[in-house]
Chains A and B, each alone.
Chain A
Amino acid sequence: MTATANTTTTTATAVAVPGPSAWATSRRLLGLLRPVRWRMLAAVAATCAFVALNVSAPKLLGDATDVVVDGVFGGTFNQQKLAALLLLVAVMYLGASVFSWVQGAVTATAVQRVGYRLRASVEGKLHRLPSAHFDEQRRGDVLSRATNDVDNISQALNQLLNQLILSVLMLLGALSMMLWLSPLLAAIALVTVPFSTAVTVLVARKSQTHFSEQWSTTGELNAHLEEYITGHEVLKAFGRQGMATETFTNSNDRLFRTSARAQYVSGAVQPLLVFVSNLNYIAVAVVGALQVTAGAMTIGGVQAFIQFSRLFSQPIGQIGGMLTLMQSCIASAERVFALLDAKEIPRDGTERAGAEQVGTDQAGPEGADPEGPAVAGGRVVFDAVTFGYNSGLPVVRDLSFTAEPGQTVAIVGHTGAGKTTMVNLLMRFYELDSGRITIDGVDIAGRGRDELRSMIGMVLQDAWVFTGSIRENIEYGRPGASDADILAAAEATLVDHFVRSLPDGYGTVLGNDGDSLSQGQRQLITIARAQLAGRSILVLDEATSSVDTRTEVQIRQAMQRLRQGRTSFVIAHRLSTVRDADLILVMDHGRIVEHGNHQQLLAANGPYSRLYDAQFSGREDALRAGESGQ
């Protein structure tokens, strides 16, 4: 699977090129803080108080030292003054700690809110992405964005906000105190600022690329893992773990290289800045000492100053150190934003109202009695419909037919003739290239998607169950359905039959894609779900393909009742349902080559009849022979 690796590599490098986007991304990240701006303001206020106290305390401590020095040189040791000063310092330090705690707590709360929203918007986005997006993007990469990247952003934001505000304020506080104590020494300290900035900018430029690469490779690795673990049985069956390991190892190696480089390059900032600040410290110490000898400053003053210059250079070093976090955070944010910016299904005017309606979860004609014949089904018209998944390669060509209310329309044809595509179009999972589909005269493109789908019950070949109890999985069709209704639907579809043999019955939790059930049992659950939903139009796409025939015979009545009074579209290889259909469409290469009911089509002796004969010729006699021998 080398080609896969290659394509992912190219996308990885494409993502890795940092552009002016790094700034745009940072701005957008800051934008995320908007909803929590008052909290952030409170945090800044607490930080200001903390810095003010933390900065003035060393000055007073310096004064206290001078009291001691006076004692040595002047002979009189003012114990009272020392005690008063130190008490004040102690109180100030206490206050500083309290404010520091307030700031930390407020920031943490704000950042967690941001993380929450970010995850929620990624999830919300999933529901607005076109189906085609999931065909192109690997699951594992999307998941990595929602977990690894968001996790990285909120961890980084938490530390950044905590320390960045603090560092900047400490910087300013220390600077003003230094200016007050000795403008000359302050000037020396300021000389280091351009150096520090230059170092930071140079390193940042180098490391951003590595960070982008690190996170995109993480996504890629996630995708490999997700895919190989999901398909591990196939790999085992064919003894191809070696191939999977090779692809994985390549990604793993690349992840190692990019993370090591990102870490190393960005990690170099701090030592370099410490060096600059040490040089500053030395300069202050030497010049300060010379000032004292010249009688321009006191020893206590120099001591306080040294402490300030430490306070001044420490935040510079910290800001540099935060570079690592900041860049890693931006790289992750770029990936999350890219997902959030992915092209969505075009909105339709009614979507808004539909969405709100959905919010109450009582959308659509769900109140319909699931058992009795439902609301009279709609009249569905396909009018010159053409569509292709890849443009220029139509899967369905110029398709026209009408399904009268309550009719059952069967769609037959060879695998790949375009049957499932018709379902995808009716459900508006994909949009038409040309032509139109109407329900009761209204173009479905003009209806809200949710409104449209609320009219249709669907059972697909790939039976989807989610982690939750069997009851919840059935109830999915009609939220809030009563136990009696759920049981009725389960009984009609023979779900009840096998659920009873499970130790936890309807409370049995399905995990791992429903692995504990057979494919056929999963299909029965999805049929029960549609039964419960009781929509006016029904789509059955190979709904019973994995259900064994004895069971199918048993649920046949239920299926018939399910279709009663509903406009139904049935795709099935087993011709039982097809036989009773009011209209059979025989498809070939995206076109309807024949239509009519069973008798008409057999009489026509066309493709349908050939299809039918292929299925039964010779077999039927054998089966009948057996039957008569019974």
Chain B
Amino acid sequence: MLPGMMMRLLAAHKPAVLAIVVLQLLQTTANLLLPTLNAAIIDDGIVAGNTDLILRLGGWMAGIAAVQVAAALAAGYFSANVAMKLGRQLRQELFAKVQALSSQEVGTFGVPSLVTRATNDVQQIQALAVLVFTMLVAAPAMGIGGIVLALNQDVVLSGIVVAIVPVLVLIMYLIVRRLVPLYREGQILIDRISRVLREQIIGANVIRAFVRQAHEARRFAVVNRELTRNNLQSALLVAGMLPLIMIVVNLSSVAVVWFGGHRIQAGDMRLGALTAFIAYILQILIAIMMAMYVLMTAPRAAACAERIQAVLDTRPAIADPAISRAGLPHAQRTAGGTVEFRDVTFAYPGAEAPVLDRISFTASPGTFTAIIGSTGSGKSTLLNLLPRFLDATSGEVLIGGHNVKSLPLHFLRNSMSLVPQRAYLFSGTVAENLRIAAPDASDQDLLRALRTAQAEDFVRELPDGLHAPVSQGGTNFSGGQRQRLCIARALLRDAPVYLFDDSLSALDYTTDARLRVALAPLTRRSTVIIVAERIATILDAGLILVLDKGRLVAQGTHSELMRTSTVYQEIAASQLALGGRV
């Protein structure tokens, strides 16, 4: 998975990668030439007593060192650049993918995990890329170069060098094999750390109210301990790697002197070769240590690559239909936003009971359609089928006569304006949040929408008015204020269909009543569907759908339903009991 991902990403940077390889080879060659020239100094200079030659060879060595540093610096520049570009691309791909996923799909990964994958996991891959560029090219070159030069000096003695290579490979293989699962688990534990902390931040007030800080600390400590234990295990494995490699390489240099000494005595080998050999062994040791560095990082990066790939490989259940751009039904807007459900059933995969069971109804422009029913009766699910946050399991959802699945997503979603159940605001300012719905809206437009949403007064009272800061999630506003800002946001968009998902629950009744009066003009030209809890909110609705346990048990106007529907009567009675005058 990791190599595949690397190859795919590197394909776009072929020239730079080629430059890195060439430069690294150049600097490695230069590095290898230095001990060779040193051997020449001993054999041809010292033994012959040739001072001139010693100095001349020294000069050569200096020149080679200069080439080496230049090549290394250039290679470093390209490596940093390409490695960080890989990271940037992975993050961008992840972000694009996550945006295409449905809530359910996001939910299977979890928000904290997705965030970790896009930052921490990508960083590990980036770090590996840097190491690969600086070391993996140089290390085999140095290692192989060292072996070749050793062979050049004395074939028999090189047997020792050749013999240690498989031993080292085996050691590394054994360690790395155990590291991969550890690192995989480690990344999951980071997700969990992040999840616990995120919950603690979101629920800070509740935790404090119930004085459960100590409990939270323990909950965190459990994950923290697990992460620490996991990190320690992998760190201990890594710590064992270096001593093992050192002992193998060092013992082989002892063997070189022993066998080399005998060969020199026998006249099979020159004296300088022995010194050079020791240098080569050192060279090979360094090469192996470099490779080890990469190998230490690789298992973690491999675990991260799997996690990133898992997100990238997720095929969003809801995707744009494959239709030609020219075939866009532009007449759509004028055709208006009639919403029709034909025998729609929705069930979560693997669930026994459907959330929505064979629902059919038509909501026309100019009418105000309300959906009522108890908590968990499927109201929000029904609404979520329209912008295709979810897709119907069977049956057809039509808007303006077109099946929603046949329309391009951006087009479909542009034709409706939604107030979600969770009034979510982004950090920024009030104006920025409103302009999410209409980027080009003027301040006048914003104020008008705020006025309709009954939010103008409190926004005007803020010190910075429209430019007052909003904290993440809108936590610096009350629940009711947040809902009204979300309503204003939705109103800024001129759409054939408006969807209000239980958006009035946090409003006090007076505000609710005023809001509905202000919304009346909207209802005349568009299709408005409101999920509501209060009957008072929906008395004027042209069509009321009564949902009970996923089934549409009744539809009609308030007075019709009061006569015909038991469920509706119960709801009405409950509200009377809760709200009526004594």
Contacts and interface: CB of A to CB of B under 8 A. Distances in A.
B519 interface: no
A278 B60 CA distance: 12
Contacts of B87: 255-256, 259
Given A65-B275, A245-B99, A629-B563, A415 B481 contact: yes
A72 B265 contact: yes
Contacts of A464: 202-203, 205-206
A299 interface: yes
Given A71-B264, A100-B246, A456-B209, A598 B582 contact: yes
B569 A415 contact: no
A622 B575 CA distance: 12
A153 to B, nearest CB: 12
B244 A620 contact: no
B264 A123 contact: no
Interface residues of A, number: 203
A65 B576 contact: no
Contacts of B574: 549-550, 552-553
Interface string B509-522: 11101000000000
Contacts of A393: 463
B26 interface: no
Nearest to A390: B463
A117 B384 CA distance: 45
Interface in A87-103: 89-90, 93-94, 96-98, 100-101
A217 to B, nearest CB: 10
B294 interface: no
Nearest to B104: A515
Interface in B448-475: 458, 463, 467, 471-473, 475
A290 B250 contact: no
Nearest to B41: A289
B539 interface: yes
B190 interface: yes
Interface in A151-175: 151, 154, 158, 162
Nearest to B56: A286
A627 B573 contact: yes
A93 B217 CA distance: 47
Contacts of B554: none
A72 B453 CA distance: 101
B396 interface: no
A55 B107 CA distance: 57
A263 B471 contact: no
Contact of B511 (A230, A290, A415): A415
A505 interface: no
Contacts of A230: 111, 424, 473
B174 to A, nearest CB: 15
B211 A364 contact: yes
B13 interface: no
Interface in B479-526: 479-481, 484, 489, 493, 502, 505-511, 513
Nearest to A598: B582
Contacts of B15: none
B160 interface: no
Interface in B173-208: 190, 193-208
Given A112-B232, A151-B120, A620-B576, A104 B243 contact: yes
A264 B95 contact: no
A410 interface: no
Given A449-B208, A548-B373, A549-B575, A101 B240 contact: yes
B61 A264 contact: no
Given A100-B243, A143-B115, A148-B119, A238 B437 contact: yes
A71 B265 contact: yes
Nearest to B569: A630
Contacts of B246: 93, 96-97, 100
B137 to A, nearest CB: 14
A352 interface: no
Given A72-B265, A143-B198, A232 B210 contact: no
A546 interface: yes
B393 interface: no
B475 A134 contact: yes
B436 A240 contact: yes
Given A146-B194, A620-B581, A227 B427 contact: yes
Given A154-B231, A256-B84, A307-B279, 8 more contacts: A135-B471, A227-B426, A228-B95, A263-B84, A539-B209, A550-B374, A550-B571, A626-B569
9 contacts: A97-B243, A143-B198, A225-B115, A232-B98, A264-B80, A271-B72, A415-B479, A547-B375, A627-B569
